[in-house]
Structure 1
Amino acid sequence: MLINCAAYQDGRKLADIDIESISDYVARPECFVWVALKDPEPEELAVMKEEFGLHELAIEDAQNGHQRPKIEEYGESMFAVIHTVEMDEAAELLIGEVDVFVGRNYVLSVRRGTRAGFQNVRERCEREPKLLKEGSAFVLYALLDDIVDRYFPIIEAMNSEIEALEDRIFERNDSAASRAIIQELYSLKRRLVILQHHIAPLQEAVGKLTGGRIPSICEGMQAYFRDVYDHLERIVRIIDGRREMVVTAVQVNLGMISLAESEVTKRLGSFAALFAVPTMIAGIYGMNFQSIPELHYKYGYPVCIGVMFLVDCVLFWRFRKANWL
């Protein structure tokens, strides 16, 4: 599906153009063409290949999708694969892909599996004609910057989830609740791993545009791409920190479970001791021997019961003082 197809000159929009006119504007060195496609059919990509003269390997990657985030050079053009991350109502991650073909005087963006579009990026570029005069390199930067900025709300939502789970860990929970917390922590860790899997490679790719051998298309834009790189570096560090927090939270939760089990064990042991002393005394006087002390004493029974009660009272007081009961 064709979303937008427009020609620009000196940072200003000339007009929305037809697909058949793309090659005519591309042939004009003072112009550049920006085309946006959404979930295109192979036939549409074939037309774009002819109009822009795109490399067949890049077209093949765009058709197949599911590529690792990367930025590759094909002669005087570049091909970038950027992953988008969105969160649905169930807090599950939705991964999309944006493929960007960049030449001296054209930009072709192809997005798949993304719910949010990039009309705001086009509007931003058109509001900044001085920067848009840089041509296709600035458009690539604007797309990268917008996609990277969309990562931050996802991370903030996960951070809030971690804090909520940490608060629940220190509440008095039964085994079912503790098990649920561990399951949620594991789910959160899995999503953080997925997020890092789709973001970390992009940091490496953008690093190629900030120093060393810069592609000729991006000359003069290093500072802008470095800003994107810094954001990606910050995001990757945050993800690493959150993963460590989740691992620590799991360990703390397991520790709290062990403490709860220890408390139960102490209580059971205390009650067992309270029953053990009377049982021992009753067992001794229940033996079939004739010469047991005080066996025929008139007040032997109440004295025996009193001793049992007194010993249990002392034990109960000691256990209660030690917070075992």
Structure 2
Amino acid sequence: MAVVPSPFKPRKPKDNGQHRGKEQLPVERAIEHCRVIVDGKALPEDFSPAAAQDYVEELGRGFVWVGMREPDSHQMTDLAAEFGIHELIVEDAVVAHQRPKLERYDDQLFIVARSINYRDHDEVDDKRQIISTGEVQMIMGHGFIITIRHAAKLPDLAQVAAGDTQMFALGPAAAAWKVLDILVDRYAEISELLAVEVDELEEMVFTPGSTFEIDRIYMFKREILEMRHAVAPLSAALKAMIANHKDMIPKKIRSYLRDVHDHELLVKDQVSSFDERLSALIDASVAKVTMQQNADMRTISAVVGMWAAPTLVAGIYGMNFDVMPELHWAFGYPMSILLMVLVVAALFLWFKKNKWI
């Protein structure tokens, strides 16, 4: 099938000075692989983008799969000229930091999804690195797909194609489905790890007499919120891929995308529940800390009260008056000490009965 070029000419991105004065790197430096998929199988050798298109056009079937890593504006513009990519897609692909979405420009689809990576909180110095996100963009047209990753980790997608030839024989949409499936499966794995962490936090907070760090709860609250922002918007993009664009996405691929969407919705609900549970934990923690502070203040007040009684007795008998009862009594000192002990003992028993100490 011949590649139909887009009628739009790539627009040169605005010069913001980022690459001014720097050597412009060739597009090949940003390309991780450029493979030709024929009858669901990836040919073993790498092609240049132009050679790959020529090969597919001459063969009359198959598609080109280009994988890129963080291209700059010059590299992306060069590749866009080869495949006739819409100018707005070029700009978004370079800027990155897009929310998950699906956009169509004539005969091209631009798909954005977020990748998520999880590291145990004991393994990182900066607690903001527990959950880190990246971005995966896909530009899909008739006869080609370009995957672009920004700070995202993906397996060797060209090798992934060799494991499912029947699906990849359906065209570029199969590659888009596989990328989304890998990302959503990773969402589910991280969701299970976070479930363990949230369970531990709940046990720590609600166990009587336990000590806990409320900062850890706030930390996971912030990280789960970041994951929620990465996962939740993808649902709308998957719905659009399933319901629309039937001329570019075969029926079988749409069926598999429904399965991906189901898994994504499950993760989305789990992350939302984590957020709600952590909010409840924060409220419970604040209440528990307040109760503990009140208990501590009562204990301190009781101790101060017990020390105040002997001080009162000693203060009275320490006054410098010549005429005072028991002042010259032989048993005055031991009786005053005994009085102090009895008063303190009585106060201790009363505070103990009222659970102040």
TM-score, normalised with respect to structure 1: 0.83
Which stretch shifts more, 251-260 or 219-228? 251-260
| 1:289 Cα deviation after fit | 10
Q: 1:302, 1:265 → 2: CA distance?
A: 33
Aligned to 2:34: 5
Mapped contact 1:25–1:31 kept (Cα < 8 A):
no
Matching of residues 177-216 of structure 1 within 5 Å: 181-211=213-243, 213-216=244-247
The AA in structure 1 aligned to 2:277 is M
Aligned to 1:109: 147
Mapped contact 2:111–2:138 kept (Cα < 8 A):
yes
The AA in structure 2 aligned to 1:24 is D
| 1:167 Cα deviation after fit | 4.7
| 1:64 Cα deviation after fit | 1.9
* Cα gap change, 1:281 to 1:78, in 2 (>3 Å): same
Q: Deviations 1:259-302 (Å, cap 9, x if unpaired)?
A: 22122222222223323444556667788999999899886765
Aligned to 1:96: 134
1:138 aligned onto 2:167: no
1:129 aligned onto 2:158: no
Mapped contact 1:87–1:154 kept (Cα < 8 A):
yes
* Cα gap change, 1:110 to 1:275, in 2 (>3 Å): closer
1:61 aligned onto 2:92: yes
TM-score, normalised with respect to structure 2: 0.76
Matching of residues 153-302 of structure 1 within 5 Å: 153-169=189-205, 170=207, 172-173=210-211, 181-211=213-243, 213-220=244-251, 221-279=253-311
Q: 1:239, 1:283 → 2: CA distance?
A: 64
| 1:49 Cα deviation after fit | 1.8
After superposition, the CA RMSD in angstroms is: 3.0
| Residue 118 of structure 1, aligned match among 141, 155, 176 | 155
| 1:70 Cα deviation after fit | 0.9
Mapped contact 1:8–1:15 kept (Cα < 8 A):
no
Count residues in correspondence: 316
Which stretch shifts more, 280-289 or 251-260? 280-289
| Residue 49 of structure 2, aligned match among 2, 19, 22 | 19
The AA in structure 1 aligned to 2:81 is E
SS at match of 2:242: coil
Mapped contact 1:100–1:140 kept (Cα < 8 A):
yes
Q: 1:318, 1:102 → 2: CA distance?
A: 79
SS at match of 2:111: strand
| Residue 47 of structure 1, aligned match among 72, 78, 86 | 78
Mapped contact 1:29–1:105 kept (Cα < 8 A):
no
Mapped contact 2:42–2:161 kept (Cα < 8 A):
no
* Cα gap change, 1:22 to 1:273, in 2 (>3 Å): same
Mapped contact 2:112–2:137 kept (Cα < 8 A):
yes
- Structure 2: runs of 5+ lacking an equivalent: 1-29
Mapped contact 2:41–2:161 kept (Cα < 8 A):
no
| 1:118 Cα deviation after fit | 2.8
* Cα gap change, 1:40 to 1:269, in 2 (>3 Å): closer
The AA in structure 2 aligned to 1:102 is M
* Cα gap change, 1:41 to 1:269, in 2 (>3 Å): closer
Aligned to 1:33: 64
| 1:214 Cα deviation after fit | 3.9
Which stretch shifts more, 256-265 or 295-304? 295-304
* Cα gap change, 1:296 to 1:23, in 2 (>3 Å): closer
Q: 2:41, 2:335 → 1: CA distance?
A: 106
- Structure 1: runs of 5+ lacking an equivalent: none
Percentage identity across paired residues of the two chains: 29
1:74 aligned onto 2:81: no
SS at match of 1:117: coil
Aligned to 2:23: none
